[in-house]
Structure 1
Amino acid sequence: MSKRLKRLKKLLQGTILDIYGEKYSRDLFSEFARLHCPCVIVNSMNAWPALELWQPPWIRFMELIPFFSKIRVAVSMSSFSGVDQKYIDMTFFEFLNKSSDESFNCYMAQCPLLSDEGLFEELTLSSLVKDIKKPNVISNQSVNVHLWMNVKPVISETHYDSYQNLLCIINGSKFVELVPPSAMLKSYSVISDVHNHTLNRPRAAYEINLKKGDILYIPEGWWHRVESSENTVALSYTWKGIDQQALAIDLRGELDVYITRNAIKRMAVKRIDQVLQKKANDAKLDAKILENISAGDSELINELFEEYGIIQILYNAPPTSVRRLLTKMKKSKELIKFLKSLNAEEGYLIMKKLDECDTEPITEFTNDLYDGSKVFLRMKEILTRHKIFMVKKAVNFVINRVT
């Protein structure tokens, strides 16, 4: 084989496919990790002995796993979830036998091979490490390694992890539904028995079919639901993401309220902006009217409020025109009456427009806004309605301080 062909083969080892199927060099994995963007790495596990050895009738496992040593195995009648999940300790031989039992399903879920947790299964399964290799894309990371194995098809319900994850398929296949963290704001309430699991299956943003030899990068915080075919074996290489708990401990919780408040404000603003944009887009306004609104005709804006609705007009009006209009209302003593008539979305939009007046202070309107629409306090109605909070008490605590 020529040197050129050898270099070409080496280059093709470990191609990255993004969530749209586009190909990239394996060297770009650090960029995917930095941007928290999922990707699939193909053709990078060819040198793993496990790809040939870890398959039915599981002779290699019987050789390496001590016969009487126990493994903690998840059992279920149907799908598997972190909510009220049951576990049974059994030997690997018992796992194979019980997997043929039709009354329930067995899943070796996240059994440790190498970890810093000191769990007893690590002693049982650590001999399997000789058949695997650490993926090159995380060669500098300190990782934990866990085994996932099922004989009958299994489903892991939607959840997210607080760490980075490379899911490596050794045998069988997995169908993975991925949902970015931000997409769950509308459909998921985090008030749950286990905060990072939900039985309310969201619509998948991306669907990925993983086959033997594929590696999926699942970023920290991305929701995922996994369907595993029969006789599937996989490994997850995990490493730390943002260590929020360590930050909280180091600072004795001093930043907890600050971080939570700002996170909720960001989520609230994003969600309300989506609502406003949809309402504005739904309006069928004449092109000439839109042109005059955009030009900043505050007299016209005032006249159009009653006929077309406030949101549709304000959304397209420049901030300076909104400020001129409110100033005129204040002089004629109509401002407080106007503000009291607003709902939360309308009040938010006015505040946003005023805030965009970079060169002009909005201080003179602050007291009027609080006395009139109580806009920030009433934002709570929208936020609660769209179920984006973890705990109701935390919502009240934070909202009261936001205002």
Structure 2
Amino acid sequence: MQVAERQRLLSPAEAVPRIWRPSANEFLENFYAPSRPVVIEGAMEGWPALARWTPDYLARTVGAAPVTFQGDRDGDGDFELYKDNHARTLPFDQFIARIAGHRGNDAYLTAYNSAANREALRPLENDLGYLDDFLTRQHGMIWIGPAGTFTPLHFDLTNNLLAQVVGRKVITLLPPSETPRLANTRHVFSDVHDVGDVERLKLYPDARFAARVEVTLSPGELLYIPVGWWHQVRSLDFSVMLTYTNFHWANDAYVDFPAA
């Protein structure tokens, strides 16, 4: 198959459709069960966070409670693989002051830090709604960072539902069938890191031919990423996002996946 033909197979409208508030059965039958990505619009309507969560509001609401984040990432090409080496702590209001109005990838509060930050960030839960058609009543794992944060190419061992609250993110998706092209030598990570990096692709030429699609996720939109789908994520703005894995249906591919 020619490269152009492969790319057309993942045109945005076909590969990642946008739909308005599907029912639980529609989502299960058309997307969850067949492992098909989808952007869901309208399901977050009425969430106070969509209007309230400016950097100033976040800093006032959480205050000086200490939080753990991923810091000093710029000097490590494998910062995602070695996340424990990048754990840093600051009062939350100081963390917001550090990232608001700035751009870069050096400081990012991520889902990996969720357990450590649960109590500190609990005051923000009052501004969130629930997605009862798809999920149990458990709030998601939060990501807070400046424009320019980047999560390298990887896949997850759960089905994920991303809920964009503040700012925009660009998510590049590649189906599991592209794994042989993506230098998957270490657990769920790709040595390619970034399929948009021309210089990096010179080291991994097979990745140039991998079919992919980009989705821009805006506030109030959800993106369903099925288990095993490769993705990388870049923030266009100061961004707050939640990742949910607590679906009503089985979501435990990690149980029998080989250890890292």
Whether the 8 Å CA contact 1:73–1:106 is kept in 2: the answer is yes
2:165 is the alignment partner of 1:165: no
Match of 1:199 in 2: 191
User: 2:231 and 2:38 mapped to 1: Cα distance?
Assistant: 13
Match of 2:80 in 1: 82
What secondary structure is seen at the aligned counterpart in 1 of 2:47?
coil
1:75-114 mapped onto 2 (5 Å cutoff): 75=71, 76-77=73-74, 81-85=79-83, 86-99=86-99, 105-110=106-111
Whether the 8 Å CA contact 1:174–1:228 is kept in 2: the answer is yes
Structure 1 residues 171, 223: CA separation in 2 closer, same or farther (over 3 Å shift)? Answer: same
What secondary structure is seen at the aligned counterpart in 1 of 2:162?
strand
Whether the 8 Å CA contact 1:144–1:238 is kept in 2: the answer is no
Structure 1 residues 130, 221: CA separation in 2 closer, same or farther (over 3 Å shift)? Answer: same
Q: Amino acid of the residue matched to residue 50 of structure 1?
A: A
Identity %: 22
Deviation for aligned residue 1:191: 2.3
1:235-384 mapped onto 2 (5 Å cutoff): 235-239=242-246, 241-243=251-253, 245=255
Whether the 8 Å CA contact 1:38–1:217 is kept in 2: the answer is yes
1:172-251 mapped onto 2 (5 Å cutoff): 172-185=167-180, 187-192=181-186, 195-200=187-192, 201=195, 202=207, 203-239=210-246, 241-243=251-253, 245=255
Deviation for aligned residue 1:135: 1.5
What secondary structure is seen at the aligned counterpart in 1 of 2:184?
coil
User: 2:103 and 2:50 mapped to 1: Cα distance?
Assistant: 28
Structure 1 residues 33, 70: CA separation in 2 closer, same or farther (over 3 Å shift)? Answer: same
Residue 127 of structure 1 is aligned with which of 123, 127, 147? 123
User: Normalized against structure 1, the TM-score is what?
Assistant: 0.49
Structure 1 residues 184, 94: CA separation in 2 closer, same or farther (over 3 Å shift)? Answer: same
Q: Deviations over 1:168-191 (max 9, x none)?
A: 111110111101112112x13432
RMSD of equivalent CA atoms: 3.0
Q: Which segments of structure 1 move beyond 6 Å, counting only runs of 4 or more?
A: 100-104
Structure 1 residues 233, 243: CA separation in 2 closer, same or farther (over 3 Å shift)? Answer: same
Whether the 8 Å CA contact 2:172–2:214 is kept in 1: the answer is yes
Whether the 8 Å CA contact 1:72–1:111 is kept in 2: the answer is no
Deviation for aligned residue 1:223: 0.8
Q: Deviations over 1:286-339 (max 9, x none)?
A: xxxxxxxxxxxxxxxxxxxxxxxxxxxxxxxxxxxxxxxxxxxxxxxxxxxxxx
Whether the 8 Å CA contact 1:51–1:171 is kept in 2: the answer is yes
Deviation for aligned residue 1:20: 4.8
Structure showing greater relative contact order (alpha-carbon pairs closer than 8 Å, 6 or more residues apart) = 2
In structure 1, the gaps of 5 or more residues are: 1-16, 114-118, 249-255, 261-389, 392-403
In structure 2, the gaps of 5 or more residues are: 1-12, 196-206
Match of 1:151 in 2: 146
Structure 1 residues 52, 89: CA separation in 2 closer, same or farther (over 3 Å shift)? Answer: same
Q: Amino acid of the residue matched to residue 238 of structure 1?
A: T
